[in-house]
Amino acid sequence: MDRRHFLKIASAAGAAGSATLFSGCTTASTKKEAAASTMSAASVHPDAAMDIPKAKGQRTVIIGGGVSGLTIARYLRQAAPDMQVVLLERNATYQFCPLSNLYMVGGMDLNYFCRSYLDAAKNGGYLYAQSTVYDADLENKMVYTDQGKIGYDWLVIAPGIDYNYASIGVKDPEEEYILRQNYPAGFMPGSEHISLKHKLENFKGGIWLNTTPAGNYRCLPAPYERTCLVADFMKKHKIKGKVIHLDANPDITIKKKGFHAAFNELYKDYVEYIPNFDFQSVDVEKKTISSSFDTIHFDDAAIYPRIRASKLIEKLGINKPGDLQFEADIDPYTYAVKGHPDVFVTGDSRWMPYSKSANTANSEGHFVAQVIANRAKGKDTPWISPHTICFSMVEYEPVESISVSAQYAYDKKKGAFEFANVQLIEKWSKALGDGTIAWGESILGDISGNQGKA
Ligand SMILES: Cc1cc2nc3c(=O)[nH]c(=O)nc-3n(C[C@H](O)[C@H](O)[C@H](O)COP(=O)(O)OP(=O)(O)OC[C@H]3O[C@@H](n4cnc5c(N)ncnc54)[C@H](O)[C@@H]3O)c2cc1C
């Protein structure tokens, strides 16, 4: 086959594939128009406009369809029905992270916590364009994607996190790639959770390694939850071995009493917890991980390095100066980027020391939707604290959990945001286990408009 012939076939295949790119947003009324519209999307030039209907009023573009972006898309349309809302998300399907540890041990099906972006957009009355954003011009209000460029009146940037492997001594891109592929952290939506599940299913025994990084990492209790559930899996399947949990912190960072009790009472022979581990290097071939004082051998692992805000934040030059996690420099009371009152950063890319978790992102998303709708009418919105509600499973079949609920307040003396109205329940129960599943279903329903299973 010659190159021209190949390109012709590839272009036709691309055009067919791209027919599903935009949910509910094709204005084409005839087959011919539809074909023309999908053809143009298939032959994207960096300066081509994204194939999306013209906005009748103002347009908000949202980058990232995680908990944060999905919440804002849905609730902004409710608060500002005349506004066009366009969600740009690189993935084809939404995958919820919070119940993934249960999925990993076989306690839940994958489709239970996956959702269709097409349905979410249809239910919420907004547009979804599957596309990867690679740049934005905040002065000229333009976002650049692999599907063309799109202008905006208001922009929300909610791209979540990236990993920082250099923080555990892995600086060479090739080494990082091998480490990510072999021992994924499982803290970003997508294939990582599926790989971890397969690893555990094939685990023949020995040392399973879990790690907790330093800094304000995504979902404080989740690494400890994973250790409990992997230990429970080994106990239930009579696998000889144990979980070594290496923690960069001096102690368990949240729900300390509950997790220590679970490690000691439920998994005494299955969990070894090692705090203050200052990660220095990982040798994937030898299967070892080292601190300044110690080298630990493992047979299989989920290695969670320190996180940073999505690299897009740094690329756009809106990260907070001196912030080790490159988080966005935003006004904590409005989420607007300093110097850009029409651009907002939300979710796990924010700098405020809130728990990087789903309920936080969801409650904050409700607030930011209101901020944008009000700003469009020239009105201010009084600040409301986000609400963190976080259940952690310590056993499965049946699921038993511990929990925390908290809000935030600015402490003038300390000059920092602190936890407020904290309610901790550190004795596990089936009632809290049922609460875990019910909470997950309600957040999934809230962000997608589909309750229950996918
Ligand atoms: C194992 C695990 C357990 C957890 N447990 C809990 C829990 O029990 N309770 C709780 O409250 N929270 C929990 N969390 C945390 C919670 O999932 C996250 O804090 C939350 O999803 C953050 O939402 P977000 O929208 O900021 O980021 P994300 O959900 O990561 O969404 C970001 C989205 O942006 C997209 N994106 C990124 N860059 C681009 C780009 N350039 N172009 C287009 N799209 C882009 C990504 O594909 C992604 O879909 C858990 C997380 C994990 C991993």
pLDDT of residue 17: 35
Q: Is 186 near ligand 1, meaning CB less than 6 Å away?
A: yes
Instruction: Find the 362 Cα to ligand 1 centroid distance in Å.
Output: 11
Instruction: Find the 377 Cα to ligand 1 centroid distance in Å.
Output: 30
pLDDT of residue 47: 83
357, HSE (Cβ side, Cα atoms, 13 Å) = 27
CA–CA gap between residue 139 and residue 446 (Å, rounded): 33
Beta bridge partners of 389: 405
pLDDT of residue 207: 98
Residue 75, classified by CB atoms within 10 Å of its CB into exposed (0-12), middle (13-18) or buried (19+), is buried
3-state SS, 38-61, equals: HHHHHCCCCCCECCCCCCCCCEEE
Position 340 confidence tier, pLDDT thresholds 50, 70, 90: very high
Position 35 confidence tier, pLDDT thresholds 50, 70, 90: very low
Q: Which domains does the chain have, with CATH numbers?
A: 3-160+310-382 (3.50.50.60), 165-308 (3.50.50.60)
Q: Is 70 exceeded by the pLDDT of residue 10?
A: no
3-state SS, the chain, equals: CCHHHHHHHHHHHHHHHHCCCEECCCCCCCHHHHHHHHHHHHCCCCCCECCCCCCCCCEEEEECCCHHHHHHHHHHHHHCCCCEEEEEECCCEEECCCCHHHHHCCCCCHHHHEEEHHHHHHHHCCEEEECCEEEEECCCCEEEECCEEEECCEEEECCCEEEEHHHHCCCCHHHHHHHHHHCCCCCCCCHHHHHHHHHHHCCCCEEEEEEECCCCCECCCHHHHHHHHHHHHHHHCCCCEEEEEEECCCCCCCCHHHHHHHHHHHCCCCEEEECCCCCCEEECCCCEEECCCCEEECCEEECCCEEEECHHHHHCCCECCCCCCCCECECCCCCEECCEEEEEECHHHECCCCCECHHHHHHHHHHHHHHHHHHHCCCCCCCCCCCEEEEEEEECCCCEEEEEEEEEEEECCCCEEEEEEEEEEEEEEHHHHHHHHHHHHHHHHHHHCCCCCC
Instruction: Find the 100 Cα to ligand 1 centroid distance in Å.
Output: 12
Instruction: Find the 285 Cα to ligand 1 centroid distance in Å.
Output: 30
Residue nearest (by alpha carbon) to ligand 1 atom 41: 133
Q: Is 97 near ligand 1, meaning CB less than 6 Å away?
A: yes
Residue nearest (by alpha carbon) to ligand 1 atom 3: 98
Instruction: Find the 295 Cα to ligand 1 centroid distance in Å.
Output: 32
Q: Is 67 near ligand 1, meaning CB less than 6 Å away?
A: yes
Which tens digits make up the pLDDT trace of 99-140?
999 999 999 999 888 999 999 999 999 999 999 999 999 999
How many other CB atoms are there within 10 angstroms of residue 263's CB atom? 22
Q: Angle, to 10 degrees, between the axis of helix 430-448 and the axis of helix 358-376?
A: 30
Amino acid at 112: Y
Q: Ligand 1 pocket test: pick from 21, 67, 442 the residue with the most ligand atoms within 8 Å of its Cβ.
A: 67
pLDDT of residue 282: 98
Instruction: Find the 427 Cα to ligand 1 centroid distance in Å.
Output: 28
Q: Is 70 exceeded by the pLDDT of residue 13?
A: no
Q: Is 221 near ligand 1, meaning CB less than 6 Å away?
A: no
Q: Which atom of ligand 1 sits closest to the CA of residue 362? A: 23
Q: Is 80 exceeded by the pLDDT of residue 37?
A: no
Q: Is 66 near ligand 1, meaning CB less than 6 Å away?
A: yes
Which tens digits make up the pLDDT trace of 185-229?
999 988 999 999 999 999 999 999 999 999 999 999 999 999 999
Q: Is 87 near ligand 1, meaning CB less than 6 Å away?
A: no
pTM to 2 decimal places: 0.91
The token duo for 444 is 């999934």
Instruction: Find the 9 Cα to ligand 1 centroid distance in Å.
Output: 37
Instruction: Find the 66 Cα to ligand 1 centroid distance in Å.
Output: 5
The C-alpha torsion from 167 through 172 and 174 to 175, rounded to 10°, is: -50
Q: Is 133 near ligand 1, meaning CB less than 6 Å away?
A: yes
Instruction: Find the 188 Cα to ligand 1 centroid distance in Å.
Output: 6
* Chain mean position to CA 386: 17
Q: Is 390 near ligand 1, meaning CB less than 6 Å away?
A: yes
Q: Is 90 exceeded by the pLDDT of residue 11?
A: no
Q: Look over the chain and give the mean of its residue pLDDT values, rounded to a whole number.
A: 91
Q: Is 107 near ligand 1, meaning CB less than 6 Å away?
A: no
Which tens digits make up the pLDDT trace of 265-322?
999 999 999 999 999 999 999 999 999 999 999 999 999 999 999 999 999 999 999 9
Q: Ligand 1 pocket test: pick from 95, 97, 200, 311 the residue with the most ligand atoms within 8 Å of its Cβ.
A: 97
CA–CA gap between residue 11 and residue 13 (Å, rounded): 5
Residue nearest (by alpha carbon) to ligand 1 atom 38: 159
Q: Which atom of ligand 1 sits closest to the CA of residue 160? A: 27
Q: Is 443 near ligand 1, meaning CB less than 6 Å away?
A: no
Q: Ligand 1 pocket test: pick from 210, 354, 357, 403 the residue with the most ligand atoms within 8 Å of its Cβ.
A: 357
